[in-house]
Structure 1
Amino acid sequence: MYKELEYSSIKEVQTLSDIHREVIQGMHLKNMIISGANNLENNKNIVNSLNVFPVPDGDTGTNMSLTMNSAVKEINKCEDLEVSLVADSAANGSLMGARGNSGVILSQIFRGFAKGLKNVKEIDSVALANAIMEGCNTAYKAVMKPTEGTILTVIREGAEFGLKIAKSTPNTAELLGKIIEKANETLNKTPEMLPILKQAGVVDAGGKGLIFILKGMHHYLVTKEVIQLAEVPVVEVEVETAKPVYDDDIVFGYCTEFFIKGKDLNPEEFKKKVIDIGDSIVVVGDENLIKVHIHTNNPGTVIEEALRFGYLSKIKIDNMREQHQELLLNEEERKTNEELKNYGVVAVAMGSGISRIFKDLGADEIIEGGQTMNPSTEDILKSVDRINAENIIILPNNSNIVLAANQAKSISNKNITVIPTKSIPQGISALMALDVEKSIEENEKKINKAISEVKTGLITYAVRNSNFDGVDIEEGNYLGITDGKINAVGEDMKDVIYKVMDAMIDEDASLITVYYGNDVSEEEALKLEEDIRGRYEECDIEMHYGGQPLYYYILSVE
């Protein structure tokens, strides 16, 4: 581990000027980016904890770290370490690996940064300041309605300050240190810019993640040392295999998924136990429930380790090599024989039940994702490429995936329409409104009208003590969220559910649909359905198994 440099005093930085680099060359830039990525990876849980709502789905740090890891993977392929080529590789890697809104914005910062370094052989302080400013400008352009008090404000104020002092600060390390100081000052002011941050008592998570990246880059400039990872990062890796019949990416052949149930569970501790025996690892949950996804060659070993923590449910093991060979055999035939459809649909969903509903309604591709598991731009592009249709509709079904979907649209040469669905109920309503006989313009209008008439409620639990809108929230309380706002808190789940539903139901309501999650038994769900029928007699009621983690119930009112 390293001792983080202090940024409160430029004097300390200046005393190290004898080892500062006046200019940054390609190898230095590569090491800076790796150091920044590692620093964020080491601190991503701090960023995740800055979730505005005290709910178990904070993922900004994870999304930004995975985006950075994609950038690092790409620059590690660089044989020619010219500044512009390293910057381009980082931009391309982060673009394809971008996850969540924060990851997409970060990828746009790198895109602009690379644009600012086009044809640059070595980076002096003026070039560095200009490139950071170009990164800021590109990120702002990528967001339709930029919100101040976010990562955008942090990068903008830091970049503007850098431009002002670049000519009088010829040392690149000193300049970057001062930019970080200014950016950090702005970060600390974000609660005053966004009331929702002030209510939650946190600074902007994306801005905090950016500071960790910049500090990691600056650490390399000052010390000539890349910050090392505290532990192996949880990322997908590419390793070549000697067996040509398999996909080069399939190093670990069995996709293994299950839930661990018990008491006093520790997701991070379990992750450390299995991190060396697989990849594509996702371990999320709390002290009562952990969802595990891992690609491994030893599923029995993973399961045996999991049994030391608690009892298991919903175990699913798929042989990915076998599946891939079948895909290779069928793909060419499918492409040859499949007629060009008028419409194809990509939907993002989390939970086997919800995925099945989207499939039954006609979605061609389901990307597993949502809260805590935002798909990357590349994930979305791969699904789009598998569809043989004249028009392709993407349903993100989560506000944190819309930017990545739009980024995929901008890269693809296919005719893509992104419907900005922000919830599962909106996505289902959109799919039901699709008429394959109508034009894309008619459908887009019809679908947007349909999703505007859907209200969404979520029932989950608090992961920390907090105060929101004057309401004290204690860790473990049930939380009710209606269309993105907490409107019910309590110790009795049913009371919270009814408060949410009362807020959603008005005189126009005619249909209530409930999707129950992975930690809710069928018996509990059926009992709730019976109670709802008695309470809201004027509405039709539908109950479906969703299988989603973290959220006990997803409620829809139309």
Structure 2
Amino acid sequence: MPQVPQTFDALAVRTWCGLALEALGRAREEIDAINVYPVADGDTGTNLYLTMESATTAVEAVFAGYDEAGRRPGLAEAAGAMAHGALLGARGNSGTILAQLLRGLAQRLDGARVDGPELRQALRRAADLAREAVAHPVEGTVLTVAAAAADAVEALEGDCAAVALAAYESARTALASTPGQLPVLRRAGVVDAGGRGLVAVLGALAQTLTGQSPAGEEPHAPFEGGFEEASEAGCAEPGPAFEVIYLLEAEDAAVARLRERLDALGDSLVVVGGDGLWNVHVHVDDAGAAVEAGVEAGRPYRIRITHFGTARPVGERAQRAVVAVVPGEGLAALCQGAGATTVLARAGEPPASGELVDAVRRAHAREVVLLPNDADLRHTAAAAAEQARAEGVRVALIPTRAAVQGIAALAVHQPERRFDEDVVAMTSAAGATRYAEVAVAERQSWTTAGICQAGDVLGLIEGDVAVIGADVAGTAEGVLARMLSAGGELVTLVVGAGVPEGLVHRLESYVRESYLAVDTVVHDGGGQGPLLLIGVE
């Protein structure tokens, strides 16, 4: 039998993370199925698992960074990696709160080892910090379960094992009482999903420090009708349309102002982190405004926008879904309105294959059409498609090289068609769309159109510089002239932030007056997208 640590050290952190990830993996579908608060979207278990997976990966990376001569990281380093990894990978309302709980623990696990009294203090700090991160705390949620665990060990005498076991048992009891505290849970006949996940994490902590799996089953949903029936029984009031999550580099004062602004925009606001790095989560109707608030506060990145109308519960897969990578929140809203699950890509920070696989999982369909919308994402998207196929999803990768090709493909998408027929139609529409981009040169460079200087406006057609101009409007007209010389029936303009006033009207007039049979459609690309995207079909 392996030696059971009487104190909490770096190896205990590593073991705990691994056991917690296993526990959440086993409970993932159950937790997804009972999720009715704050939004009945069936993804709490998945979000908790992905958050814990990120924490575990960070801890493993710290251990791997040491040599093989028996050296190990210290407790503070391992606990800090756990908290930082959770912060970077936090998903959804529940995952964001879990990240803050782990951050609170890490702030007290700062010695070489900790004993029972210090673990009690860490649990207290975790519960308090998580509650502070939530704009409007509600009882009967994971916050209640965390507070109960901390309260139960406040005056407990004993070692770390005794503290962890008592915290777990109190959390189980508190979880069983959540339906009596939150009407939406009582009507659905379920316990709080986030609280259920925290109990699994605390059970893993008790197992780490006692060497034995805690006895007894976790309280679960007595409801037997499945997710849709549970959601209907919950009778939750309709909420905002979008979930917005992003990492943010910002100062404390700017984050305080950001909290006030986001609180006025929506609900389920949770802002966690510190020391210049934050994870922001909010439910809003205006996703663009939530992102713009982050831009005003600092530098948001890894932006994820989910339309709640596309979320589906575990056990009820859609037949078909589309996953699209988009370069701005405006296009994200456009594609989500067409039923797609989106992954937001920022310049210089392309999504990893894991993010694309995560989006395929969120789409929760038997068949998925994947639109990378970027030539540089071809290999990343192919890797994600292979991983999703290994998980039993039928995936078709359409090699769209620009967002305007993805828009064209999505426009002809018909989920009622046979899969192969739908993929062929979407591929044909994308292939028939020529694309261009207008951007500003950052430095002097050789191009296919000659030498450009920093500040020159570049018109790139199919990825190659075709026009070098002095202003955006003139360059865009030059690009349109070249593209339409080969024919076309429809021009698509995706306008980003920073375009000159009156540009859209000038380009629409140019197309209308110069090419009588060509129509123009304009989309707002949002503040994070390119200056101007052009598509010609």
* TM-score scaled by length of structure 1: 0.45
Higher relative contact order (CA 8 A, sep 6+): 1
Look at both structures and tell me which one has the larger radius of gyration over its CA atoms. 2
